[in-house]
Amino acid sequence: MSFLNMVFGCSHKNLSFPITVRGARSRNMAASVTGTYVVCLSCGREFPYDWNQMKVVRDSRAASPRGAMATEPGRAA
């Protein structure tokens, strides 16, 4: 982790390919929104992903630090 990431936080620009959770597996907070999520490969944070919009989406229930983010990655609020 770089000094800038420690001070300003991760920019979440390096995301994984969308992962869809199917079946009886327990879903994490991000996957419970749309059933699909992406992971920041730099910090490990998970974000809900919508295949129809083909982008990371907001979660109005964003309460946990590992849950969904308030804005899209790489965009300022």
- Among all chains, which residue has been given the structure tokens 């869809």? 20
Degrees to nearest 5, angle at CA 32 with 73 and 56 = 20
Per this entry, what is the length of the chain? 77
- On whether the pTM is more than 0.85, the answer is no
Could you report the per-residue pLDDT of 46-73, keeping only the tens digit for each?
A: 999 998 999 999 765 544 444 444 445 5
Where do the structural domains in the chain lie, given as residue ranges? Answer: 12-69
